Amino acid sequence: MSRWAAGVEYLGSSFSGWQAQPHAPSVQAELEKALSRVADHLVQTVAAGRTDAGVHGFHQVVHFDSDARRTPHAWLLGVNTNLHEHVALRWVQPIRDDFHARFSARARAYRYVIHNARFRSALLEGRAAWVAWQLDAEAMHRAAQVLIGELDFSAFRDAECQSRTPMRNVHSIRVRRQGLFVVVDVRANAFLHHMVRNIVGSLCDVGSGKRPETWIGEVLASRQRTHAGMNAPAAGLYFVDVEYPSEFAVPVAPDFWLP
């Protein structure tokens, strides 16, 4: 058996999330079906991170094992030919047996995209969240800096989160305006269920002037989910990057195209 790593891109609005489930479409099930057809045996995948229904993947990384003799090009061409139209492999390469897509990762990064315009866009439906009122991106950025570090993120954690600990180490968080878009980039060692979407929902309360910048720190200290803002829509969230030790030589994520 040889171990392979692959980069996966997908439009999450077509699926009930990454993880395979019995009675709902998933990215994992579609990918494993295509891989199994090319390998001519059952293939199972492990991903760097699970995404929820409606959340997109720009540079999701997976690994899988196979005894099929295939070149990277054969895997790439064959799997993409058999995949759902909203899922695509961007690269495939052989990798060391001790590589694990989830446990070898040092950090993961998400981008949340807000279309901040008076009127909604038909072309951005399902690909960006829409906020009609003007957001102050600079205020949102300043407020977000209190979230950097190894902290208890209970206040930004979904009630059904199954993680054994609410502690996460946020390496960086940046909010910026780019034309009619407000973009939130977050990098951390790992994330809790709905953590990014809950943070963004709270930051939007600051950006709209509903809450002061100091409020984010107060919410964090409360450790109570009920003290935070609304859960931002899934449509604006993208899994954009995974960082691994250099010895695995995993390809670096390309520049994100949106916005």
Average pLDDT, consecutive stretches of 10 residues, N- to C-terminus, the chain (259 residues): 97 94 94 98 97 96 97 97 97 98 97 97 95 98 98 93 93 97 97 96 98 98 95 96 97 82
The residue range of the domain holding 193 is 107-239
Residue 185 and residue 97 share a domain? no
Q: Is residue 253 part of a domain?
A: no
Bridge partners, residue 123, by sequence = none
Write b or e for each residue in 239-249: b if 16 or more Cβ atoms lie within 10 A of its Cβ, otherwise e: bbbbbbeeeee
Domain C-terminal end among 67, 83, 104? 104
Task: Please give the pLDDT value at position 53.
Answer: 94
Task: Please give the pLDDT value at position 255.
Answer: 84
Residue 130 and residue 81 share a domain? no
Q: Is residue 252 part of a domain?
A: no
Q: What is the 3-state secondary structure (H, E, C) of the chain?
A: CEEEEEEEEECHHHCCCCCCECCECCHHHHHHHHHHHHHCCCCCEEECCCCCCCCEEEEEEEEEEECCCCCHHHHHHHHHHHCCCCEEEEEEEECCCCCCCCCCCCEEEEEEEEEECCCCCCCCCCCCEEECCCCCHHHHHHHHHHHCEEEECHHHCCCCCCCCCCEEEEEEEEEEEECCEEEEEEEECCCCCCHHHHHHHHHHHHHCCCCCCCHHHHHHHHCCHHHCCCCCCHHHEEEEEEECCHHHCCCCCCCCCCC
CATH at 81: 3.30.70.580
Q: Is residue 115 part of a domain?
A: yes
Residue 114 and residue 98 share a domain? no
Q: Is residue 251 part of a domain?
A: no
Write b or e for each residue in 21-59: b if 16 or more Cβ atoms lie within 10 A of its Cβ, otherwise e: eeeeebbbbbbbbbbbebbeeebebebbbbbbebbbbbb
CATH at 232: 3.30.70.660
Q: Does 110 count as an annotated binding residue?
A: yes
Residue 160 and residue 55 share a domain? no
Task: Please give the pLDDT value at position 258.
Answer: 73
User: What domain count does the chain have?
Assistant: 2
Domain C-terminal end among 72, 104, 136? 104
Residue 54 and residue 8 share a domain? yes
Model confidence, pTM: 0.95
Q: How many residues does the chain have?
A: 259
Q: Is residue 248 part of a domain?
A: no
Q: Is residue 247 part of a domain?
A: no
Q: Annotated catalytic residue: which of 40, 52, 158, 205? A: 52
Residue 116 and residue 96 share a domain? no
Q: Is residue 143 part of a domain?
A: yes
52 is catalytic: yes
Residue 116 and residue 97 share a domain? no
